[in-house]
Chain A
Amino acid sequence: MAKYDLVIVGTGPGGYVCAIRAAQLGLTVAAVEDDRPGGVCLNWGCIPTKALLRNAEVVHLFEKAETFGITVQGMKVDYAAAVQRSRGVADRMAKGVEFLFRKNKITLVPGTGTLKSKNVVEVRGKDGLTTLEAGRAVILATGSEPRSLPGVAIDEKTVISSNGAVRNEARPKSIVVIGAGAVGVEFADVYRSYGVEVTLLEALPRIVPIEDEEVSTQLTRSLSRRGITIKTGVKVSAVKPMGASVVIETDGGRFEAEQVLMAVGRGARTKGIGLETIGVTLERGFVKVSPTMETSVKGVYAIGDMAGAPLLAHKAMAEGVVAAEAVAGKNPRPIDYGNVPSCTYCRPQVASIGLTEAKAKEGGREVAVGKFPFTASGKAVAMAETEGFVKVVADKKTGEILGAHIIGAEATEMIHEFAVGRTLEATVDEIMHTIHAHPTLSEAALEATMAALGHAIHI
């Protein structure tokens, strides 16, 4: 039985970051993985979809080449090539993790890990069973998988999940995307850019429902303009594959398409890893953890998607660091779950942090709101990317930045100004007194902040 200080089950963004941090702190680490290192994020999620979205963006730029006085003739787009490029990107990133493991002397154990006791993990690999003993702790980082609706089976052919969407080299002529969260909206964007007829269905009253309402309104307008059919507030009652097509019955009508993409959320992977054996407590399908990521069983930690919302790679990475430092006897700073940025990489991009205007008001705060449209930004106009705005929600009394909401080009890069600000407990005054380079899109963040104070310059 091989013995390590730390045995990590799963090498997604939570697991691999945890492994590296633990190794940095001098612990010996074994990491168990039943796929390639990097998990869903690197192989099937964040990274390959970003590659596809970049393709979609390039297509879009070619399409509006006329705007820049460039004539493109005989343009052909090859969707299979886009998927292949995306696979190449994922492959490269996974190799990167393998390299980091070697560099940090982390033992990668291929196979499926199951807890036999609180410090013994059995790994079922191609070559049989391996048993790993953890001297200090076991860290569970098995992630999540796409969920479906009751009674709807995902075959990854006509009824697909993001797993199929990211692999399938053939694009359908038409697709119905069920669920307008980040995953649904991003694939709707990719497919639409490649000429697919896209219908986006959302059970809640608006798309990207966790975002600020004004962002949803703006995104609805932008996506509709691009020819995506959007139906919100519709409940799907049945998904019926009919040979070459699939019929979706809802309380808002009947839809038919070549494929349907189920983007109704993800569920924690908690089955078959021995949680019941050692009595780890679950809460609403997720593993219950302490602020240092320890489960109800001492010495067993859980991080990432399986440890609860938000199901985001960067939150998993942060938890991986906390868990590694806790195991190494450090005193890690607990994660501030109220300060995790949320990003959707559709076009225009959506990024936010903190409270929406509605949530801030619900919380009883008296708020000052500032908004600045990219139509008034010199850089955005020069780039011909004028969709969207920056919205700042501040506490009227203290100037605390309660939330920031950006929709527009490079929104996901711009959100960190507010993330750093909030971490340092900066107020609108500090943002206002920070000179922003001109011309940049980030000036819109400054102007929105000044608008919250009642004196934006450029609107």
Chain B
Amino acid sequence: MAVTKVVMPKLSEQMEAGKVIKWLKKEGDRVQSGDILAEVETDKADVEMEAFGSGVLRKILVSAGDKAPVGALIGVIAEEGDDINAVVAQAGGGAPSAAASSASAKPAMADRPAAVGPQPKSEDHAERTPSPSKGPESPGIRRAQETVAQQPAVTEMAPRPQAPAAADGGRVKASPLARKIAAQSGVDLKLVHGSGPGGRIVRRDVEAAAAAPAAAAAPSAAAPSPALRPVTPTVTGPEYEDVALSTMRAAIAKRMPLSKAPVPHFYVTSEVAMDRAWELREELNGLEGQPKISVNDLVIRTCALTLLHHPGVNASFQGESIRVFHRVHMGIAVALEEGLITPVLRDAHAKTLAQIAVEARDLAERARQRKLRTQELSGATFSISNLGMFDVRDFSAIINPPEGAILAVGSVRKVPVVTDEGLGVGRRMAMTISCDHRVMDGAMGARFLQDVKRLLEEPLRLLV
């Protein structure tokens, strides 16, 4: 009888290693081809791993909770009498099962930075950064660019939305009918969990996603934070616990250094007097039949208009050139329960405040319902991350490549201010721009910020 090697499957193009969540069969169990052997965690999804041969699961080489590189032997299926020593020896040096599992799994991780897109393997580390480093005429780079563009635009926290059914970077397993219904109802298949064979998205999954209530939304800022609930202090019990990385968290952990390390960030902070903007907003929101305008809507409009005058900030590093964008596609960070996603408000520079308010709210709402279309998650030229609702004074954000900059916006605070008459109360808001030093210099960032500040302080300009 044949000996079937069970290897860590490559479940996505950029997958280099997978973690065995749990084995559904134990050593000595009889398995049929097609049985689910184990659940494997990748950076995108938990996937069931099928047996490709029948026999007895003779050996488990990677125990639950451990990782193994793609292609590594993690188990052996054979008949009772078959000699599997050679196969096991080949993989783990003949070590006994328990030792082999940890021994073969851990070093194999090798702390290699994972490629962001399905980029050619030959590229060296520097070139594997999200910003392509060759001229735009290179087909390889164009491809990489496309890949990057296809990725949902995200900010510092979420590398990309969880794509449970996308078995590999691009292809989503879905039935033709599911695809059609998804297209018609605006459901992004990348955000749908497939319940069909092998995780295939079928009609019922899309229908369920389309009907999903907004209840899936992230906790609103108004909801009391768990931190406010009383916790009884304790001095007994374990001192700490290690919480395993969720797939999304693991992906964030993997991808963020790919921005932070190779992209030389610098930061410029400025404070804006928001008194007039605040008044204007109150006045606008008092008008009947007008959409409610948020502070962030004002910031979006301001940045979009200002970027038109500062094209150097609305730019992307392309290796041997800098791509300067003539249109402003604004990435807007939206907090989700499991991370953060950045839908893109397209052509923000050409939209009125009311249009921006309506579109931004719709994008945020649908982001929480996971109903965004792929194209709404990619192609930002600049991003805004606003943590104002969390009463944050200021913070700095990590650039989402290939964008050249991101603006981190804090809360509008009432602070004592010195006026001509003496001491008064004013509303102030801090903004910090993170810039890619390969694209721009400190002064460019500062000049941009200065104009943003000026415009917000003369907010009537936002209306014309």
Q: Which residues of A contact B177 (CB under 8 A)?
A: 398-400, 425-427
The reply to whether the CB of A417 lies closer than 8 angstroms to some CB of chain B is no
Q: Closest CB-CB distance, A449 to chain B, in whole Å? A: 13
Q: How far is the CA of A427 from the CA of B202 in the complex (A)?
A: 12
> Per a CB cutoff under 8 Å, which of B30, B35, B176, B181 touches A426?
B176
Is B175 in contact with A399, judged by CB distance below 8 angstroms? Answer: no
Max chain B Cβ within 10 angstroms of own Cβ: one of A25, A26, A397, A425: A425
A398 touches B184 (CB 8 A): yes
| Shortest Cβ distance from residue B282 to the other chain A in the assembled complex, whole angstroms | 45
Does B178 count as interface, using CB distance less than 8 angstroms? yes
Contact between chains at A398 and B175 (CB < 8 Å): no
Interface residue? A35 (CB, 8 A): no
B176 close to A430 (CB less than 8 A)? yes
As a 0/1 sequence over residues 179 to 195 of chain B, the CB contacts with chain A under 8 angstroms (1 = contact) are: 01100100000000000
Please give me the residue from chain B that is nearest to A397 by CB atom.
Answer: B184
Q: Which of A377-414 contact B (CB under 8 A)?
A: 397-400
Contacts of B202 in A (CB 8 A): 425
Contact, CB under 8 Å: B180 / A26: no
Q: Is the CB of A26 within 8 A of B176?
A: no
Query: Could you give, for residues 18-45 of chain A, a 1 whenever the CB lies within 8 Å of some chain B CB and a 0 otherwise?
Result: 0000001110000000000000000000
Which chain B positions have C-beta within 8 A of A333? 197
Q: What are 27 A-to-B residue pairs whose CB atoms are below 8 Å?
A: A24-B32, A25-B32, A26-B30, A330-B35, A333-B197, A397-B184, A398-B177, A398-B180, A398-B181, A398-B184, A399-B177, A399-B180, A400-B177, A400-B203, A424-B175, A424-B176, A425-B175, A425-B176, A425-B178, A425-B202, A426-B175, A426-B176, A426-B177, A427-B176, A427-B177, A427-B180, A429-B176
Closest B residue, CB atoms, query A401: B177
CA distance A222 to B453 in the complex (A): 85
Known: A424-B175, A424-B176. 7 other contacts (CB 8 A): A26-B30, A330-B35, A398-B184, A400-B203, A425-B177, A427-B176, A429-B176
Alpha-carbon distance A26/B35, docked complex (angstroms): 14
A 320-358 binary contact with B (CB < 8 Å = 1; else 0): 000000000010010000000000000000000000000
A242 nearest CB across to chain B (Å): 58
**Most chain A CB within a 10 A radius of its CB, from B30, B175, B176, B178:** B176
Among A72-92, those with CB < 8 Å from B are none
Question: What residues of chain B lie closer than 8 Å to A425, measured between beta carbons?
Answer: 175-178, 202-203
- Nearest 6 CB-CB pairings of A with B: A425-B175, A425-B177, A398-B180, A427-B176, A400-B177, A430-B176
- State how many angstroms separate the Cβ of A419 from the closest Cβ of chain B: 15
Q: How far is the CB of A367 from chain B (nearest CB, A)?
A: 15
| Bound: A424/B184 CA distance, A | 19
* Residue ID in chain A nearest B177 by CB atoms: A425
Taking the nearest CB of chain B, how far is it from the CB of A355, in angstroms? 15
Fill in one digit per residue for B202-239: 1 if any A CB lies within 8 Å of its CB, else 0: 11000000000000000000000000000000000000
Shortest CB distance A104–B (Å): 15
CB distance from A290 to the nearest CB of B (A): 19
A393 → chain B, closest Cβ, in Å? 15
Minimal beta-carbon separation of B173 from chain A (angstroms):
12
Could you say which residues of chain B place their CB within 8 Å of the CB of A25? 32
Bound-state Cα–Cα, A148 to B146, Å: 70
By a CB distance below 8 angstroms, the chain A residues around B203 are: 400, 425
A430 proximity list for chain B (CB < 8 A):
176
- Cα–Cα, bound, A399→B30 (Å): 43
**CB-defined interface of B28-40 with A at 8 Å, one 1/0 digit per residue?**
0010100100000
A429 neighbours in B (Cβ, 8 Å): 176
How many angstroms from the CA of A424 to the CA of B30 in the assembled complex?
30
Report B-chain residues with C-beta under 8 Å of the C-beta of A26: 30
> Which residues of chain B (150-198) have a CB below 8 Å from chain A?
175-178, 180-181, 184, 197
Chain A contacts of B35 at CB under 8 A? 330
Q: What per-residue 1/0 map shows which CB atoms of A254-292 lie under 8 Å from chain B? A: 000000000000000000000000000000000000000
Chain A residues whose C-beta falls within 8 Å of the C-beta of B184 in the assembled complex? 397-398
What residues on B are CB-neighbors of A427 within 8 Å? 176-177, 180
Instruction: Give the docked Cα–Cα distance between A430 and B174 (Å).
Output: 13
- Nearest CB of B to A259, in Å: 49
CB under 8 Å from chain B, chain A span 206-226: none
A420: shortest Cβ distance to chain B, in Å? 12
**A339: min CB distance to chain B, Å:** 12
A-contact bits for B275-309, CB 8 A (1 contact / 0 none): 00000000000000000000000000000000000
- Chain A residues 307 to 324 lying within 8 A of chain B, measured CB to CB, are none
**Of B177, B180, B202, which is in contact with the most chain A CB atoms at under 10 Å from its CB?**
B177
Chain A nearest CB: distance from B209 CB in Å?
A: 15
Nearest residue in A to B203 (C-beta to C-beta)? Answer: A425
Assembled-state Cα–Cα distance A425/B203 (Å): 8
Bound state CA distance, A296 and B51, in angstroms? 34
CB distance from B322 to the nearest CB of A (A): 44
**A424 and B197 alpha carbons, distance in the complex (Å):** 10
Binary contact readout A412-452 vs B (1 if CB under 8 angstroms, 0 otherwise): 00000000000011110110000000000000000000000
A424 to B202, CA, bound (A): 9
- Cβ distance B260 to chain A, nearest Cβ, rounded Å: 43
Contact residues in B for A398 (Cβ distance below 8 Å): 177, 180-181, 184
A280 CB → nearest B CB, Å: 31
In angstroms, Cα B180 to Cα A398, docked, is: 6
CA A37 – CA B327 in complex, angstroms? 76
**Bound-complex Cα distance A430 to B30 (A):** 39
Q: How far is the CB of B355 from chain A (nearest CB, A)?
A: 30
Closest chain B CB from A335 CB (angstroms): 15
Of all chain B residues, the one with the shortest Cβ separation from A426 is: B176
Cβ contacts under 8 Å, A397 to chain B: 184
The complex places the Cα of A399 from the Cα of B178 at a distance, in Å, of 11
Question: How far in angstroms is the closest Cβ of chain A from B174?
Answer: 9
Contacts of B32 in A (CB 8 A): 24-25
| A426 → B minimal CB distance (Å) | 5
What's the Cα separation between A397 and B32 when bound, in Å?
Answer: 41
Per the bound structure, the CA–CA distance linking A431 and B373 in Å amounts to: 27
A424 to B177, CA, bound (A): 9
Interface string of B387-399 (1 = CB under 8 A from A): 0000000000000
Contacting residues, chain A, for B176 (C-beta < 8 A) = 424-427, 429-430
Closest to A425 in B: B175
Bound complex: CA A24 to CA B30 (Å)? 11
The 8 A CB mask of A101-137 against B (1 = contact, 0 = none) is 0000000000000000000000000000000000000
Q: Which A residue's beta carbon lies closest to that of B196?
A: A425
Contacts of B1-54 to chain A: CB distance below 8 A? 30, 32, 35
Residue of B nearest to A25 (CB): B32
Report the minimum CB–CB distance from B78 to chain A (whole Å): 17
Closest to A330 in B: B35
Centre residue among A24, A330, A398, A429 by max chain B CB count within 10 A: A398
What is the 8 Å Cβ interface bit string for chain A, positions 147-164, against chain B (1 contact, 0 not)? 000000000000000000
Q: Which residues of A contact B181 (CB under 8 A)?
A: 398
A342 to chain B, nearest CB (A): 22
Residue of B nearest to A422 (CB): B177
Measured CA separation A398–B207 after assembly (Å): 13
In angstroms, Cα B181 to Cα A397, docked, is 9
The CA of A426 and the CA of B32, in the complex, are separated in Å by 29
The complex places the Cα of A333 from the Cα of B202 at a distance, in Å, of 14
A42 to chain B, nearest CB (A): 27
Q: B residues 433-457 with Cβ under 8 Å of A? A: none
| Minimum distance in angstroms from A18 CB to a CB of chain B | 17
Q: How far is the CB of B180 from chain A (nearest CB, A)?
A: 5
CA distance A24 to B202 in the complex (A): 30
- With A and B bound together, what is the CA distance between A427 and B180 in angstroms? 9
In this complex, the member of A24, A399, A400, A426 whose beta carbon has the largest number of chain B beta carbons within 10 angstroms is: A400
How far, in whole Å, are A427 and B177 apart by their CA atoms in the complex?
Answer: 6
Nearest CB in chain A: distance from B105 CB, A: 28
Chain A, residue nearest B178 (CB)? A425
Chain B residue nearest to A424 in the complex (CB):
B175
Report A-chain residues with C-beta under 8 Å of the C-beta of B30. Answer: 26
Chain A nearest CB from B31 CB (Å) reads 11
